[in-house]
Structure formats: C-alpha cells, structure tokens
Amino acid sequence: DAEITQSPRHKITETGRQVTLACHQTWNHNNMFWYRQDLGHGLRLIHYSYGVHDTNKGEVSDGYSVSRSNTEDLPLTLESAASSQTSVYFCASSGGTSSYEQYFGPGTRLTVT
C-alpha cells in the first residue's frame, strides 16, 4: 500500500547541531509539506514543495530549509538547532485525483537540549 513515512520517530539533539528529518511518500504526489505542532498553536506550515526542485517558505520557516531532488522525498533540515525548535514535526503530501486532500505521516518528536 502507498504510504508516507518519517524518520526518525524520536530525536534528541543539542543546541547548535544540524539535524535532518526525513519524509518519504510512495503515492507519487507532487505536493509535500512540513508542519510543526505545538500545544496551543495547532499545526503550522514550515515549508512546502509543489514538485521537484520547487520549494517555498511557509508561516514559520526561519531556521529551517528543505530541498526536493525527487518526487518521493522532502527532507527538512534545521541548520543550527535551537530549544525553540523542540516540537513534533509532521510531513504531509497531496496531489492525487483530488489535490486538496493532504495525508500526514506519523510524525517526528524532536527535542533540542
């Protein structure tokens, strides 16, 4: 079955380190998204991509970057991790017969100490 996976599921890192979170989807969706989820804020968009080599900033993009070299993957990089980036990160994709619908991965819980 087609799916969307994230790795790692849990990560602890130190302030200042570079961290990359992986997202992989097998639906062949053109659109991929990264969100962070914090108590009291719901889900907020970090970056998104509408296709290979396309990337766009979302609402809370400072300190994050993405690159899209193929259809299946959109890795999220924290250039220099900060404690404020402790959060749960979700990847999503869309672009099937109904491009509005977004389907979410299981999430990565990141702790920055």
Q: How far is the CB of 15 from other proteins (least distance, A)?
A: 26
Q: How far is the CB of 17 from other proteins (least distance, A)?
A: 25
Distance of CA 12 to the CA centre of its chain: 17
Residue among 14 and 101 whose Cβ is closer to other proteins? 101
Residue among 14 and 89 whose Cβ is closer to other proteins? 89
Q: How far is the CB of 35 from other proteins (least distance, A)?
A: 8
Unique residue bearing structure tokens 């990264």 = 34
* Site residues for other proteins per CB under 8 A: 33, 40-45, 48, 58-59, 90, 100-107
In angstroms, the CA 113 to CA 33 distance is 26
DSSP annotation of 83 reads: G
Q: 102: closest CA among 61, 38, 48, 22?
A: 48
Distance of CA 58 to the CA centre of its chain: 11
Residue among 19 and 105 whose Cβ is closer to other proteins? 105
